[in-house]
Structure 1
Amino acid sequence: MSTIAPAPVHVVEAESTPTPKRRRRRGRVRWGMWITLAVIAFFGFAPAYWLLRTSLTPDHLVFQFPPSLLPSEITFDHYATVFGNPEIFGYLRNSIIVSVITAVLSVVVSMYMGFAFSKYRFGGRKSLMYFVLSSQMFPQALLLVTLYLVFAQFGLLNTYLALILSFTTFTLPLCVWMLKGFFDALPDDLIEAARIDGASPWRIFHSVILPLAAPGLVAAGLFAFVRGWNDFIFALTLAGPDRQTLPPGLVNTFISEASTSWPALMAASLIVSVPVCIAFILLQRFLVGGITAGAVKG
């Protein structure tokens, strides 16, 4: 009578428990990470906190020594001063007009350029790509005199158009490269399938590619918007008092040769930062997707 040999039994060794030395090493790494994050958070939020603190501090306590982290007195008079100044709302209107048009124009131009650089092959393509990128190597202030003379020759000084053209000029290179990287991540099979279905190149781009490129378009538009919103030197030089945006407008309003109202300036700066912060909060999902999508080829 034959016997059946028993099946081999595989013994799984239990995972060895971490030694005290390993636990201490993991604890030090964890504490190091938390300390690093705390330092980064401090450098990120300390200026914003001091901005808020100064805006709530009465004038006679702004320069007290030693300074205190919490104001001994709180006042909202500086915010009332900002909201009661009609010039601030004029600067706000100018900033919105210039920033929105700059963002739209930058996205419209860069999406066509980025798609052409990504999906089409033509003579001088790489040279032209690096030529567009090389424009970022020149300091923007270096071109201010040239732009001033050109705009003065064409009668464009003290107009919205001068600010929009100058801002768009400097935002286009980065927007083009950002969208090119996004278009590179889109597979060419989508374009080939649309061509087989009889779609024209214009239809392929607007009906197939652009809906997929929405995160990249939002990221490029947000970058251009912030560029137009934060600019100081071009808005101060190329625009007159009626067309100046918030950065130079706030400086001219609260800083003079005789005195400087730092608390009111801090209150105004805090107020005008709110729209940009809200835009980042609402569009951060698209912003992160648009910036990182081009880093990985699809």
Structure 2
Amino acid sequence: MTTLLAQEAPAPAARRAHPAGTRRPRRRPDQIRSSVAAWIAVAVIGLFALLPLYWLLVTAVSPKDQAFQFPPKFIPTDFTLENFRAFAENEALFDYMVNSVIVAVLTSLLSVVVATYMGYSFSKFRYRGRKSLMNFVLASQMFPQALLLITLYAVFRQFGLLGSYTALILSFATFTMPLCVWMLKGIFDTVPDALLEAAAIDGASRWRTLHTIVAPLAAPGMIAAGLFAFVRGWNDFIFALTLADKDTMTLPPGLVNTYIGEFQTAWPALMAASLVVSLPVVIAFMFLQRYLVGGLTAGAVKS
């Protein structure tokens, strides 16, 4: 009987689908056209995104007389590191870089700390005015940032904070915090309430539950929110130009004041400096990429 069942057993699916000696089915013309169109679209989008970066690199390593020649050379024949050497010899740019690091790091820490407590409160507590406060935090993102610059300038001048790190950090955190709050709220929503109840039964307070149980689970989201706030503090131009002075000025306005003049612009040196100051953000993304992707997708599905 076993032999009979073995003989009547159907052939494996792989053999039925592709018997020996037969060819795989050919793709239809419409499928080929769809694939070609998709690859062309990817190539065009990639070219649109990467061509400015390539041109930045080419200009940074080109001599000044070749940077403005027409027609331009997409593959330079002469290379020079003079533009990078000029950046390394400019002490003012290093001061701007130190200011950028201080402002970006403190903005990131402040945004993550406040957003952690706010997001946890919105996610796990129920109290009067909770939804109104959540909508208020979300609505704050609807106002153009430049529209609030005059108001913030007047407030900081009234309190004597103009030209200080505090003015820059508070202004940057004002615009990064709403997104960080909603990002972390979505992550805290995925933490089961049964876990919090078990911690309460074991005698853990709410503060200890948040700091020792919930926060480690939400670490990828906190890193993602911190990276977002860091990039915001590192790249901002208009607030740093308006609220900072010469001693606290960050890199974006510092580069403009150094290389862009009234009658001419040192484009090769500016491109070299822009390439150098972009490296910290690129390195941060390379090392924290998995945390960033995990943090952005952790709150997508509620458990």
TM-score, with normalisation over the residues of structure 2?
Answer: 0.92
Q: Name the structure 2 match of 1:15.
A: 17
Matched, 1:255 2:260: yes
Q: Name the structure 2 match of 1:51.
A: 56
Per-residue CA deviation, residues 149-185 of structure 1 (Å, 9 max, x unaligned), is 1111111001101000100111110000000011111
| Offset of residue 67 of structure 1 | 1.1
| Offset of residue 10 of structure 1 | 5.9
Per-residue CA deviation, residues 252-274 of structure 1 (Å, 9 max, x unaligned), is 00001021100000000000000
- Aligned-partner Cα distance in 2 for 1:144–1:83: 33
- Aligned-partner Cα distance in 1 for 2:285–2:44: 23
| Offset of residue 24 of structure 1 | 4.1
Q: Name the structure 2 match of 1:74.
A: 79
- Aligned-partner Cα distance in 1 for 2:177–2:115: 6
Matched, 1:192 2:192: no
Q: Name the structure 2 match of 1:3.
A: none
The number of equivalent residue pairs is 293
Q: CA RMSD in A?
A: 1.8
Per-residue CA deviation, residues 44-86 of structure 1 (Å, 9 max, x unaligned), is 2111110000011111111111112111321111111111100
Of the structure 1 ranges 37-46 and 270-279, higher mean CA displacement relative to structure 2 is found in 37-46
| Offset of residue 40 of structure 1 | 2.4
Matches of residues 1-298 of structure 1 in structure 2 within 5 Å? 9=8, 14-15=16-17, 19-20=25-26, 22-298=27-303
What secondary structure sits across from 2:78 in the alignment?
coil
Gaps of 5+ in 2: none
| Offset of residue 35 of structure 1 | 2.5
Of the structure 1 ranges 188-197 and 217-226, higher mean CA displacement relative to structure 2 is found in 188-197
Of the structure 1 ranges 96-105 and 183-192, higher mean CA displacement relative to structure 2 is found in 183-192
Matched residue type, 2:17: E
Matched residue type, 2:53: A
Gaps of 5+ in 1: 1-5
- Aligned-partner Cα distance in 1 for 2:163–2:214: 39
Matched residue type, 1:134: A
Matched residue type, 1:178: M
Matched residue type, 1:15: A
Per-residue CA deviation, residues 83-123 of structure 1 (Å, 9 max, x unaligned), is 11000000000000000000000000000000000011111
| Offset of residue 26 of structure 1 | 4.2
TM-score, with normalisation over the residues of structure 1?
Answer: 0.94
- Aligned-partner Cα distance in 2 for 1:104–1:97: 11
